[in-house]
Structures are given as C-alpha cells and as structure tokens.
Structure 1
Amino acid sequence: MASKAGAEEGERLLDDDAGVEKSATLTPRVLEDKVTWSNLPHKKQLLLLALCRLSTPLSNACLLPYLYYLVKSIVSDPDHPSAPQRISRLTGLLVAAYPIGQMLTSMLWGRVSDTYGRKPAILIGLTISVIANLAFGFSRSIGTLLFWRVLAGMANGILGVMRTMTAEIVKDRRYQTRAFLAPPLIFNSGRVAALAIGGCLADPVDNIPWLFGKSGLFNVHRYPEGVAWTIKFPYALPALFNGTVLLLCLTLAALWLRESLPTKEKDWDLGIAIGKSISKFVARKLLRKTSSGYSPVQIEEGEVLIADVPMAQASTSGASTPTTFSPRPKRPAFRDIWTPRLLKTLVAFGMLPLHNATFLHLFPVFLSMPAVSNDHPTVLRFIGGLGLASPTVGLYLATFGICGILLQLFLYPRIQGRIGTVGVLRVANSIFPLTYVFAPYLSLLAANRTTKWLAMAAILLSQVMARTMAIPSTVILLTEAAPRRSVLGTVHGAGNTLSALASATGPVIGGILLARGIDIGAVGLVWWTWMLTVALLALAWSFVLKSTDAEKRTEVELESN
C-alpha cells in the first residue's frame, strides 16, 4: 500500500496541472536517456487508439481512386463535352462534405470528452461512422451521397479527442514525438490499404470479374451480366469493407481501450471488465496458461513504483519527509485558453490542410481525367489528365503511401531530433510549393509510357515526404501550445474544427478552379493560383512560430538530475 501511495504521489508531482513546484529530488528517473520505439510506454493503448484512427482514412481516402467514376455513373449525359467540368465540381462538393461535418462537431466532441470522458466520445463516433460508411455505398444520388458524407464527417470529429488521448496516455514529453507518430503510422497504413482497396473493389464486375463477373465464383445465380447487387450498386463493395473493419475497431476499443480523462480514468468500465474476462478465457483455455497460485501486483506499462527511486533521493536523513500539495486548480475559463501562442499555432495548423486536402482530392481526379492531345501547348496553356483506371490510381497512390510510412518511422524522428519541430515544419513547407509548380505538367507526358510514371513518382514522393513531416509537427506544436493539460480536448477540438474548415474549403475552391481551368484551356490554373499561393503563405507563417525544443530539453535535463 505504501508503494502504491508513493507512486500516486510521484504521478501527482509530474502532472502539468498540479500547480506545485516540481522537485528534482522526488522525481523518479524512470526512462532511458535514449528514446526508442521499444521503450515507448503504453504501446498497447496507443495501438488501440491508432486503430480507432482508421475511421478517417477508411471514410475519406477509400473513395478517392473511384470518386471520378462514381460521380460519372450518376450524372446525366456523362459523355457530354461539358461533363468533365460538372464532374470536377461535384467531386469537390463530395470531398468537402466530409470535413464540413467534422467542422460542425469537432468543438462539441472536444467539450463533451472533457466532461464525460474520451472513450464514450470515441465509441459513439465510431458507431456513427460504421453506419455512414455502409449507407454511402448503397446510395445512388448526389443528395444522399452528400448526406452520408456529412454524417461520416460529423462522426469523425473525434479526431481531436484521439489526439488529446495520445497526450494523456504518454505524459512524458520525451516520448511525445514518437507517441504522436504512432497513430499517424496506423493512419497512413490505413490510407494505403484504403486507396488500394477502394480502387480495386470499385465496380467489381469489371475489376474483379473472376469473382463477380458473368462466370464469377460469387455469381451463383448465373446472371448474364454478373452478380446482381454489384451491378445495381457498383461502388458498395468498398463501403462494405470499410464498415466491417470499423466494426472490428469499435469492438476492440470497447473491450480494451482505457479512459484517459483524469477525472474519469478510475471509473468502472463494463467494456474493460468484459475484455478482461475474454483475455483470461483465451489465456486459460486457448493458450493453456496456468496460474501459479499467486496474484502479482499489476503495473501498467510505463508506470514505476516509488521503490525504484534511490533512498537517498527520498530523504537525506533516512526518514520520510512529509510533502504538502496545493489543491488542483480549476479548469481555466474558455476565453483564457486562447493565448497568442496558441492562436499562432492554430493558424499554422489550419493552413496545412487548406492546400494538402486540395491536393489529396485533385490529384486522383487529375490522374483519372481523360488524356488530351495538346498540339500546341504553351508554358501555361494545356489541358487533360492521364486517363488512368481506378485500380491503377488506387494502387499507385497506395505504393507511395508506403513510402510515407517508412519516412515517418525512420526519417522524421532523426530530422526532428536535429532541427526541432518547427525546423521540420519549415523544411516541409518549402517542399510543397515546388510540388505544386510542376504537378500539372504531367498532362503533357500522358502519351509517354515511361517518363510519365517517373514524373508521377517524383511529384508524389515529394508531396508525401512534405506532408509526412508537416502533419505530426503541427500536431505536436498544437499540443505544446495548450495552456493546460486539462483543456487539451478543447484545444484539439478547435484545431480539428479549423482543419475541417480548411479541408472543406480547399477542395471546393479546387474543384471550381479545376473546372474553370479546363474551360479556358489551362489545367494548371488551380495548382498555380490556389495551392501554390496557400503553400507559400504557410511557409512564411512557419517563421512566425517559435520553437519550444530548447524549453523541452531543459525540462528533460531537470527531470533526469
């Protein structure tokens, strides 16, 4: 009991909101000097939380490879000369509908999670996401597609809650860089799978004829055109896959994800109780593990008992010294949260998706657009896409998504350790403009079988590298800018709201400008007037931000002494 009480006191000393002076003599030296993936605390909880993050790429990225063809299958007279412009505008609306839903609910999810807990918010959001994904696949009108996209976005307003939970699970700042990289790694893995699966499972009668075609294994009734329901709903199969995976993630979270809100983390949880029973049953019946007759004290991953602290640090006289703690301060008023530093960070946080979301929407559409023979192109005036099929688009984007995962694993931590979080953001923001300048010229290479693939690889690799460095950097900076740990849910809710607004605005403007560019014979209009301008402004704004890495190093040194 004494050890447990000592451990609780040690944790209170480390809490950012405790309002007491941190004592170097009482702070246990619990972590190795070198931060690695192997000694990252609470890996199981971070993995469960990262799996919950799959709701975003499955809901949002899976449709990108086939979005152009989905809209084309719904609009009237798809072969009309003006159809590409109409399709471009509608794809922009469908992409924007998702972040609009996020924007409407992100702050609400944040405040709800600050009051009632992180886990309930995540479970409710995942449940709605399952329903919205399934319904989207069986919708055959623009209106219903927009409705389910908005609802899916509202459900995924929990993204800020998940980021808050990451900060609460791993409290030590030395580990927060890698902790904030863990969910994006699963996110990017899910995005890779979603892009590949979305492209390959769309229109399965044509893309997977050996399963769904005239002689396919699943065409048990031998309909002359293929499996009947896939003909009526050609884009339902990716949605069914999404819903199944999200239902599995929801089940895992309900049974094993622990609450992290300090005021709720000790509450009894029915899901955790059921999960423990299942774990014991599996260990006893399936893995044939037997009990030794003793009940060892369980220590959560990352926790350290006070017994690990040298006695000389506990007391210099050989006797325990009573320590008094000041009461925990109240949560600051809502208006006091928005410090100048936080507001500056929020601007940077919102500028990134303003151009990045536009790229993620436009690039698959650009690759899917019909190739055009430009007989007399100029530097600024040329049109057309690359005419790639949806499976090709999905697999190609997924391949470079794997590059993003490798970059996050091996490149980002090293660069961040050398030049700091703000430095990494500045490097990333300097790459984006170059990508947007050269991307539209791919249409001039549509007829060249070899060069176009190499050029596409260069464009995608540079953009993936830039966003791989920029996204975790902005999340870390936003977490550090929060004035109190107790308002992290609100801060990340605000960040998610701003990010969703930018993610909705960018694709809408991008779709309009792409259509306008096609009209005037300049497909690069959207790249050079919108995305390039925003990227340059984001680069300039990154120099307004101040690095906190020196402060973090000082704090680490104090805690290690």
Structure 2
Amino acid sequence: MTPKPRCEPRENELTSAESPLLDAERPAGYTSLPLPEEPQAVSWASIPKKGQLAIIVLARLAEPLSERSLTSYLFYQLRWLSPGLEPSEIAKQAGYLTAVFAAAQCLTSMWWGRAADHPHLGRKRVLIIGLSGSALSALGMGFSTSIYFVFLFRFLAGALNGNVGVLRTMISEIIDDKRQVEFCFSIRQPNSNISHRYQSRAFLLLPMCFNVGVIIGPLLSGFLADPIHSLPNVFGPGSAIGGTDGVWWMAKFPYALPNLLFSTILSMAALGIVLGLDETHPQRRHLPDFGRKLGRLLTGRLLKHQEPGYVLISDDDYSGTTVCNDDHEATGADRPKLVDKPRPPFKAIFTKQVTLALMLLFLQSIHVSAFNSILFSLLPTPKAAKDGFELPFRFTGGLGLSTQKIGFANTTIGLIGLPLQLILYPIITSRIGVKRSYRMFLPASIGAYVLLPYLVLLPEDTRIIWTCLSVVLVLQVVSRTFVNPATVILVNNSAPSPNLLGSVHGFATSVSSAARIVGPTVGGSMLGWGLSHNFVALPLWILTILAAMNWMLLVYIQEVQM
C-alpha cells in the first residue's frame, strides 16, 4: 500500500537534505516543503494583500469625504433655499437632515448586510450599489432647488448605502482567509495565526479613513462651495472660465461644484471595486469575475510568468508552494458554478457573544455620538454670569468660542487621531491585545465627560481655555482611537459563522446608526434643559454612567478569533 505523503518530517526523522536516500522511498509526485519560519515582526509594510486593502481604503475614504463636506456649507445651502428662515430654524433643519440620514441607514443596513451574505449577490455587488447610490445622492444634493429634495437625497444617501458593514466583512475575509487549499501534490494547512497578527492594523484602516475625511472633506467643500463668490477670478464674471456673466450653472446651483467633485470620487471608487477588488464571499470567490479580468487587462498585470493552471500563493498567506487553480483555464462544463446551499436564518446571528458585542457597540456609539453633539453645542454657547452658581454641581453656560475656533477644534480632533492610529494603536494592541487595550483606554473618555462641563467656569484667558480644552480633546480622541476599532474587531470575531459575517456587520451598522440617532437627540435635549436650569453638567454625567456600563460589560465578552 502506497504510504500517504506528508508535508513535514516527524520528530527525530531525517529530512532529504540529511539523507538523500530517503527520496528513493517517497512516492511519485511527493513535494517536500520547508519548515515554517518564525513569525516576523508585524508592521504596516508587512500587511499582506495590500492591493486589495488599498481599494477598500479608497472606497471607504470616498464616503466620509462626501459626508463630512456638508459641515462646511450645509447651513448656507439651507439659507439659500429658504432665505427668510431664522438661524435657529436652519440649525433645526440641519439636525433633522442628520437624523434622516442616520434613520435611513439604521433601517436598511441590516438588509444590505443580509444581501451581501446572499450567494447570488455577494459583497462586491453590494459595495458597487452603495457607492453608486452615494454618487447619485451627492449629485442630487448639489442640484437641489427645494428643501424637500434635499431631505429626499439625504434619505437616499443613507438608505442606499450599507457599505461600512460590508467593508468590515471584506477586511476580515481578506486578512483572515481560512480557506482550505488543496495542493496538487501534497496538502498543507494555512497558518491561521499569521492573519490574526495583522487584524488590529487592518481593522484600523476604516476609522483612519474617517479621520482623513474629517480633515480634508470640509476644507475642500468650503473652498469650492458657491464658487462664483469664493473663486471670482476663476469662475466669476469677467474671468477666463466664467466669461462675461460667470459660469451660468454655478450661479444657478452654487453648491453643485463640491458635490460634483465628490460624486466623481465616489464613481471612481465604484469603478475601482469593479476592476480591482476580488469577491470574498465563500460561495462566490471561485466564480469568474469579468470585472477583475478586465482590470488585469487594463493594468497589464496578467500572470504570464507562471505555468498555466497554477497560481503562486504568497508566503504571507500560506507556507507552501504551488496550488491547483482550475479557475484560470476552466471553461464550459469545467468552470466553477454557484451552488445554492441552505443559508443560516437571520436569527442565527443572535448568539450570546454576538448579542453582548452588539450591546457593547450600542453603548459605545451612544455615549461617543452624544458627547460630540454636546461638545460642539457647548463651544459656541456664550458664557453665563456666575450669580446663581452653586458649585460644584449647579452651574451653566458655555465657552463662547467663535466659528473659526470651533473649526480649529474639529480639525484638532482629526490631527490628534491620525498619528495615534498609525503609530501608537498598533504597537499597544499587538502587545496587550484588543480587549485589554479596550479596557485600559475606555476610562479616558470618562475623564473627558467629567471634565468638560467644568471648562465653562474657566476665566477669560485664551491660553488657559485652549490648554484645558486640549486636555479634554486628547482624552476623548485617545479613548476613541483604541475603543472604536476594538469594538469592530470584537463584533467581527463574535460571528458564529463566516457565512454570517455580512449579516452581523450589517445589523451592527444598524445598531450603531440607531445609537447615533438617540445619542445626539437625547443629549442635545438634555443639554438644553441643563442650560436653562443651571445644571449643564447633568447630560455629561449621564454619559459617564453609560461609559462605565460600557466598561463593565467587557467582563462578559470573550476575545475569540474567527
């Protein structure tokens, strides 16, 4: 009986290098494989499949660029649509638009996640639909001439896009690919520990894109909005491009130009998905992808140097050699076909660990979103007279900062977050783990919640105010930098099956959207009550309680790997 080929020698067994005579006893077709090397240090440069991750980064970056750009011109666009409205009414409309977007996302994200899990649709097609929907919504927003159309397109922007959950799913599947690979001449299992070394960095890419969007989006849109007046030498009357009367469509639709730019970026991201991104759905990943074939043709990256029928697997993914790949040359009856397999029901995602992880996500999202809303309401609120104060609990008022200083505070948050995410987060999480870093840095946000209301008591000294405000912002950003990606990883790893990853992330996006509706709405209402009743610290103390509950819930979360 022919002995079964083995990839590695048993303990104390000689290898072929030590005894060439062993080769004569091995069966035909036996391939010897090198012993696994010691894992190398993890760095950003060592992350595998960087090309695929770059396309995901482009897709994610395009969305916050477009969404955050609204903060620069939304107030002025709403005033242009309704010139007679009071500023307080315009502020309310802006808040309603935020709620409409979040509500639409809350209602549809779980269904987009479920659609991404469906073998006839897959992750890639859902991403293309989402990016295309965002591009069309941006165009509609820019060319709207009525407040009703603005609400319609903001609703569509939220309803047509469930990409955040799908992108998280694809990152999990790209970095943590546990497919069993059948070698032509021998069988070797992939080293699953390799992929988990990169997980904390890979899941950090999406929040990093958000921080970049926070910085760049408002700057670009502020520069391009109402270009007839903001760039008169380029587009205005008498300019080289504008001619005698200026560019007519920019005068008729003053907020179309930034939306045209971001719609183009979103469309380019969708095209990048079509041409460059591999499908990661377990039942679709082996099917022919004509978009990827066209992408390879256009970029000239055909695998001409390899033997037909084989693909070389990267050492980052498998410690092996050549694998059988029938997809390259398979045609007709030999081509892989989609097999309908029974899908787990949606309720299968609600295991104990998934439920706990979603509770963790809801608590974290609600107190972070409420804090952001309260912070940017307190900053411009005028300072109050200290006559009726009863320290240390009963006091009111804000910091009285100008719009320019508020914008600087917003930019500061993004500028602090980026280096923390790029440098500090990967080093610490690789040493102490995701859950421990979560437990260690979440209390920093509690410190920010406790300290923020007392800033209204500071004297009228710019240096003192900005020093203390910077301390609060640093505490919040440090906490958010470690907690946000860690929450996503814990939700991802709680999924009961790879076939339910899209459903889990889709439902998680809905949960997060629901929290982002409740947090700012309730937090803003409580802040208004606190300002009028000499109790401005009350909403922030409630956030402190929610954050403490968030921290205690960690005890019941198991840090598992998919």
Displacement of 1:162 after TM fit? 1.0
1:104 corresponds to which letter in structure 2?
L
- Kept in 2, the 8 Å contact 1:93–1:508? The answer is no
Contact 1:28 1:306 survives alignment (8 Å):
no
* Pairing 1:154-553 to 2, within 5 Å after superposition: 154-171=159-176, 172-202=195-225, 204=227, 211=234, 219-222=242-245, 233-280=253-300, 298-299=311-312, 301=314, 302-304=316-318, 306-307=320-321, 331-367=343-379, 369=380, 371-372=382-383, 374=385, 376=387, 378=389, 379=391, 380-384=394-398, 386-389=400-403, 393-394=406-407, 396-442=409-455, 448-520=461-533, 524=537, 526-529=539-542, 531-548=543-560
Are residues 1:32 and 2:39 paired?
yes
How big is the shift at 1:62? 2.3
1:188, distance to aligned residue in structure 2 (A) = 2.4
Instruction: Find out whether 1:126 has 2:131 as its counterpart.
Output: yes
Residue 234 of structure 1, CA deviation: 4.7
Give the match for residue 157 of structure 2. Answer: 152
Q: Which amino acid aligns with 2:258?
A: P
Give the conservation status (yes or no) of the 8 Å contact 1:371–1:443.
Answer: no
Once structures 1 and 2 are overlaid, which stretch shifts more, 261-270 or 333-342?
333-342
Identity %, equivalent residues: 32
1:182 CA drift (Å):
2.6
> Which is worse superposed, 352-361 or 202-211?
202-211
Counterpart position of 2:61 = 54
Task: Report the TM-score, using the length of structure 2 for normalisation.
Answer: 0.76
Structure 1: 5+ residue stretches without partners:
8-24, 285-289, 310-327, 556-561
Distance 1:346 1:291, change over 3 A: closer
How far residue 151 of structure 1 moved from its aligned partner, in angstroms, is 1.3
Measure the CA separation in 1 of the matches of 2:146 and 2:536.
28
Tell me, yes or no, if the aligned pair for 1:89 and 1:515 is still in contact at 8 Å. Answer: no
Maintained 8 Å contact 1:132/1:152 = yes
Post-superposition offset of 1:152: 1.1
Aligned to 1:314: none
Shift of 1:101: 1.5
Aligned residue for 1:93? 96
CA distance in 2, matches of 1:291, 1:166: 28
Structure 2 vs 1, CA of residues 451 and 197 (structure 1 numbering), >3 Å: closer, same or farther? farther
Matches within 5 A, 1:97-116: 97-115=100-118, 116=121
- Work out the number of aligned pairs and report it: 494
Larger helix proportion, structure 1 or 2?
1
> C-alpha distance in 2, partners of 1:498/1:251?
29
Offset at residue 39 of structure 1 (A): 2.1
Instruction: From the superposition, tell whether residues 458 and 251 of structure 1 become closer, same or farther in structure 2 (CA, over 3 Å).
Output: same
Alignment equivalent of 2:51, drawn from 44, 56, 77: 44
Partner letter of residue 456 of structure 1? L
User: How far apart are residue 277 of structure 1 and its match?
Assistant: 1.4
1:324-373 deviation digits (Å, cap 9, x = unpaired): xxxx9965443333211111111001222112223344444554x46456
Q: 1:515 to 1:233 in 2, by over 3 A?
A: farther
* 8 Å contact from structure 2 (residues 313, 322) kept in 1: no
Residues 1:359 and 1:447: Cα distance change in structure 2 (over 3 Å): same
Specify whether residues 338 and 465 from structure 1 end up closer, same or farther in structure 2 by C-alpha distance, changes over 3 A only: same
Query: 1:359, 1:170 → 2: CA distance?
Result: 33
Higher relative contact order (CA 8 A, sep 6+): 1
Q: CA offsets per residue over residues 485-506 of structure 1, 9 Å max, x none?
A: 1211111111111111111222
Change (3 A) 1:33 1:444: same
How big is the shift at 1:67?
Answer: 4.5
Provide Cα deviations, 1:282-338, integer angstroms capped at 9, x if missing partner: x89xxxxx98898896435544473489xxxxxxxxxxxxxxxxxx99654433332
1:313 corresponds to which residue? none
Which has the greater radius of gyration?
2
Matches within 5 A, 1:6-25: none
Instruction: Give me the whole-angstrom Cα distance separating, in 1, the residues matched to 2:454 and 2:106.
Output: 34
Residue in structure 2 matched with residue 13 of structure 1 by the alignment: none
Q: 1:228 to 1:397 in 2, by over 3 A?
A: farther
Distance in 2, matches of 1:377 and 1:303, equals 66
**Cα distance, 1:65–1:129 mapped onto 2, change above 3 Å:** same
SS at match of 1:41: coil
- Pair 65,294 (structure 1): closer, same or farther in 2 beyond 3 Å: same
For 1:257 and 1:442, the matched residues in 2 are separated by 48
* 1:139 aligned onto 2:139: no
- Give distance in 2, aligned partners of 1:265 and 1:179: 20
Deviations 1:217-255 (A, max 9, x none): 7653356xxx76556555444323321221221121111
Distance 2:171 2:476 in 1: 26
Q: What is the TM-score of this pair, normalised by structure 1?
A: 0.77
> Which region of structure 1 is more displaced relative to structure 2, 458-467 or 59-68?
59-68
Structure 1 residue 374: deviation in Å? 3.9
RMSD over aligned Cα, in angstroms? Answer: 3.8
**Shift of residue 179 of structure 1?**
1.8
Which amino acid is the alignment partner of residue 422 of structure 2?
L
Post-superposition Cα deviations, 1:391-424, rounded to whole Å, max 9, x if no partner, equal x544542343132121112111222233321222
> Following TM superposition, by how much is the alpha carbon of 1:481 offset from its aligned partner in structure 2, in angstroms?
0.8
**Which residue of 2 is the match for residue 558 of structure 1?**
none
Alignment partners' CA distance in 2, 1:365 and 1:210: 36
Q: CA 1:376–1:128 in 2, change beyond 3 Å: closer, same or farther? A: same
